Each structure stands twice: as C-alpha cells, then as structure tokens.
Amino acid sequence: MQNEELFAKARILSEALPYMRRFSGKTFIVKYGGHAMGDARLADQFARDIVLMKQVGINPIVVHGGGPQIGAMLKKLKIDSNFVDGLRVTDQQTVDVVEMVLSGSINKQIVTAINNAGGKAIGISGKDGRLIEARKLNRTRRDPDSSIEKVLDLGFVGEPARINPDVLENIHLSDAIPVVAPIGIGARGETYNINADTAAGHIAAAIKAEKLMMLTDVAGVLDKNGNLIHSLTPADVPRLIDDGTISGGMIPKVETCLHALEGGVNSAFILDGRLPHVLLLEVFTRHGVGTMLAGPDYEAPEAFADEPAREQQG
C-alpha cells in the first residue's frame, strides 16, 4: 500500500508538469471568500495552494471578501444593517466598519496565513496607490403599482471606475503576493465598499490576467437537475439566464466572468471553495473542477491534447 501511495503521488506530480510549464509567468486573480474563509483547515490549505502557485512561477493576486465578518462586527457594535438586491446599504458609520474589517483584520489574517505557509504576502486595499478608483453605484427599482423607476440610495456602495495596476506590478517585482481588500477611493477621496467579485473581475480585466478564479459556496453553475455544468461560452449565458438555469446570486458571478473575458482574460472559473485544495485541482489536473467560462478561441493546456475535452454545455 505504501508503494501504491508513492506511485500515485509521482503520477500527480508528473501530470502537473505540463501545467507548470504552460502557466509559468502568468497572472491568476483569485477571489477568496465564502465558507473557505471561515474554516481554519480550508484557510490553511488555501494559503499553501497560493504559495505553491508562486513557487512554480505563477503570479497569484488574491482579492478577498468578508461579508459575514462585517455583519458580525456591525452586530457587535449594534449598528443596524440591511441589504438591497444583495448589496449592503452602507452609510458613513457602516463604511468605516467595512474598511476596518476588510482592510484590517481579514486582510492581515490572509497575509499572515500565506506568510506562515512560506510565502511573502503584502496586504493592500483598493485605496492604496489608487488601485481601485470608484464611483457611487446607482441602482433603480420599478414600483409595481406605478411602474415608475425609483433610484435606490445605497450610500457608500461603489463600483470600479478605473483600475491602476501599478501598485500590483511593484509588488510583483518584489516577488511578493498581493492580497487586496475591495475598498475603493472616490474622486474626492471618499471611501467606497465594493463587491469583492466585481473588484476581482475588473482587476483581472485591467491586467489581462490568464485566469480569474472565483471561490464560492457551490460546486459551480448547475443545470436544472443539479448537475455541474463543466464549461460555458459567453453565447450560452443569456439563454441559461432566460430559462432560469442561472439565477439569483449566480447571475452577477457569471456576469463578472464575462466582463473579465471581454477585457482579455483567457478563462474564468467558478469553483467550490469548500473543496480541499480546489485551486490545485483546477490548475494542475487534466479535467479540472467547477465551471469554466471561456471564449470560442480558448486554447486548452497541452496536457489536454490527448484527453477528452472538458464537457461542454449542450
């Protein structure tokens, strides 16, 4: 049994080699959030996976969320908080707490975990070096009685207006791993709370990353029978939204992936962050896990040449 385990490990390492060659020198944006952040074992594995990517020549950039931690802190401080269309309404008092939690405790926990795993991580927010210049996010809602569109005031909830990746390039040149809190800065210096998925997608598009990898609390995009859809093209998405296959919170995640692809990202992935070593399984194995979104010109890694293609959505 011991020899069989050793042979299995050798096969895994051998299988990973073509991917190491293919992706050496490439940049991956990894959106980190959900259940994986709250589980100490998964958080440790995530840190080790990020360090391993860096060791084999990949340039990972981590963009993290922290919704549950923000909610817990607001509750502790007895600050009321509510949501509109899945977005936290953020007044001045709330945005101060959001920045404290995201740029402070959560960001430094991730940095510490990566450093403890043997890496060199540097924590920043989107305000540092004006990495994420933001504008106020405007949302409208149609009144069911009058059919009049009403503007919703979400407070200091923002969306990226411009990404300035120079600070990321400088960190890369220092051979460190950037860990980014999704806080943006407005034209007058105001602070904006930005959805982490959105921030990750815009950063990926701005630097034309090789991959955008979004960790979630589901296996990926599921069909109506609950089965994983392994691969989608942008042309598939409108139809699947129209028929209800893609719905709820999965819609903005898929739209973020499409934005990244339109910006020049080679491929985007929606992955189950609850799965141990999910990043390594996606990057370094033949068939990968989760749902991949890629355009018709996507070129699969060399290791797929003699293997069946990823199962396509029919």
Residue 314 pLDDT grade (very low, low, confident, very high; cuts 50, 70, 90): very low
The answer, yes or no, to whether residue 141 has pLDDT greater than 80, is: no
* Phi, psi dihedral angles at 195 (to 5 degrees): -55, 130
Domain locations in the chain as residue ranges: 24-304
* CATH 3.40.30.10 is held by the domain 24-304: no
C-beta of residue 177 within 8 angstroms of C-beta of residue 124: no
Higher-scoring residue by pLDDT: 106, 143 = 106
**What pLDDT is attached to residue 306?**
46
Question: Which range (11-25, 49-63, 256-270) has the least confidence?
Answer: 11-25
- Host H or E run for residue 232: strand 231-232
- With a pLDDT cut of 70, the percent of the chain lying above it is 88
Residue with tokens 């908080």: 81
- The band of 187, judged by pLDDT with boundaries at 50, 70 and 90, is very high
Q: Which of 265, 301, 298, 296 is nearest to 283 (CA)?
A: 301
Q: Are 180 and 144 in contact (CB under 8 A)?
A: no
H/E segment holding residue 202: helix 196-207
Confidence of residue 13 (pLDDT cuts 50, 70, 90): confident
Which pLDDT score, from 0 to 100, does residue 305 have? 44
Residues 70, 83: contact at Cβ < 8 Å? no
